[in-house]
Amino acid sequence: MLSVTITGSSGRMGRALIETLAASSKARLHAAVDRGGSALLGLDAGEFAGVGALDVHIRDDLALVLPGTDAVIDFTRPEATLHYLPLCVAAGVPMVIGTTGFGAEQRALIEVAAQRIPIVLAANFSVGVNLCLKLLDTAARVLDEGFDIEIIEAHHRHKVDAPSGTALALGQAVANALGRDLSECAVYGREGITGERDPKTIGFSTVRGGDIVGDHTVLFADIGERIEITHKASSRATFARGAVHAAHWVKGRAPGLYDMQGVLGLR
C-alpha cells in the first residue's frame, strides 16, 4: 500500500486527491498538510472531502509527517512548493508536483532538488492531455508550412495564473517539434492595431469563467482548412488519479526530474 502525503489539502485539487486516495485499494492518505493559519487545520481530511472520516487530520507541519511517507503530492502555489521542496529533499521523500505558474528561477530550484530526490513535475496529470502532447508533436511536424498555430484555453474564475501551465506545455510541444524558441515566438493575447499575423508566432488566448475545469484547443489554421486538437476536463478526478499513478511510479526511482509523458511511457 502506497502511503501518500498531500499538501494543499483544503484546495480544489486537495479535495479531489483525498477522494481518490480514499477510494483506492493500492494507495492511502498518510497525512494531509495545509498552510499555517488555515481554518481547516485539525479537521479530519475525509470528513472535509465528504468521504467519511479517515482518521487523518489536516496539519501544517510537513517535516513531522514525512517519515513513513512514500511520496508527497503537491498542488498548491509556487511559493508553497518551494517551501516544501527542501523538506522532502532532507527526508529523501519523492515529490509529485502539479502546481503551476513557476518562473524560470523557481523551476531551476526544482531541477537542483531533483538531483537529490525523484520528482515528477507536470502541468497536467490527465492521460488525455498527455496523449494530446504526443499527437501535437506529429501534427506540428506535418502542418509546419502555411498553418497558423493558436492555443485557446478556458478555466474557472478562481484560477490565478495565465495562460495555464497546460497551454504553455502544449505550446512548448509545438515549438519543440518545429524547432522554434517559445520565449521568442509566443504572443500572449492581442489588442488594438496589431498588424498582420506573423506566421512564425504561436498565439495564446485565455478565457476565465464559472466552474470550467479546464479546456484546451490547439488550432492549426490554413487557407481552406482548420485542424483542432481539443481536450476538455470535466472533473478534477482525472488530474488526481494521474498524480496518484505518478506517485506509484516515482517510488524507488533514481533522483531526477520526470514528467507525465515519461510516467505514461509516451516517448
Residue type, position 188, single letter? Y
What is the distance between the alpha carbons of residues 202 and 152, in angstroms, rounded to a whole number?
A: 11
Which of 4, 5, 6, 8 is close enough to bind ligand NAD by CB under 6 A?
A: 8
Does the footprint of ligand NAD cover residue 20 (CB under 6 A)?
Answer: no
Among 4, 5, 6, 13, binds ligand NAD (CB under 6 A): 13
Nearest to ligand NAD of 33, 143 (CB atom): 33
Candidate segments 107-115, 121-129, 136-144, 251-259, binder of ligand NAD by CB under 6 A: 121-129
Residue partners of 20: CB distance under 8 A and separation at least 6: 237, 240, 241, 244
In the 8-state DSSP scheme, what is residue 44?
B
CB 33, CB 254: distance < 8 Å = no
Please count the residues of this chain forming the interface with ligand NAD, following the rule CB under 6 A. Answer: 25
- Smallest gap, in angstroms, from Cβ of residue 12 to ligand NAD? 4
Residue 118 binds ligand NAD, judged by CB under 6 A: no
Q: What is the C-alpha separation between 115 and 118, in angstroms, rounded?
A: 8
What's the rounded Cα separation, in Å, for the pair 182 and 163? 13
User: 100 or 205: whose CB is closer to ligand NAD?
Assistant: 100
Least distance from ligand NAD to the Cβ atom of residue 172, Å = 14
Q: Report whether the peptide linkage leading into residue 94 is cis, meaning its omega lies within 30 degrees of zero.
A: no
Instruction: Check if 155 is active-site.
Output: yes
Q: Decide if residue 125 touches ligand NAD (CB under 6 A).
A: yes
The stretch near ligand NAD (CB under 6 A) out of 31-39, 175-183, 200-208, 220-228 is: 31-39
Is 34 buried (19+), middle (13-18) or exposed (0-12) by CB count in 10 A?
buried
DSSP bridge partners of 2: 27
Map the footprint of ligand NAD across residues 218-247, applying CB under 6 A. 239
Catalytic pick among 26, 30, 57, 155: 155
Among the residue ranges 3-11, 171-179, 189-197, 220-228, the one whose residues contact ligand NAD (CB under 6 A): 3-11
Contacts 24+ apart (CB under 8 A), 35-39: 35/60, 35/76, 35/80, 36/60, 38/10
Binding ligand NAD by CB under 6 A: which of 24, 101, 131, 201?
A: 101
Identify the bridge partners of residue 96 per DSSP, sorted by sequence position: 73, 120
| DSSP-derived 3-state class of residue 226 | strand
Among 4, 5, 11, 217, binds ligand NAD (CB under 6 A): 11
Within residues 168-197, the interface with ligand NAD by CB under 6 A covers none
Out of 2, 19, 24, 38, the residue judged to bind ligand NAD by CB under 6 A: 38
Largest Cα–Cα distance of the chain, in whole Å?
A: 61
Cα(213)–Cα(260) distance, rounded to whole angstroms? 19
User: Given the complex with ligand NAD, which of 43 and 143 has the nearer CB atom?
Assistant: 43
- Contacts with ligand NAD, residue ranges (CB under 6 A): 8-14, 34-35, 38, 75-77, 79-80, 98-101, 122-125, 165, 239
Annotated active-site positions, please? Answer: 155, 159
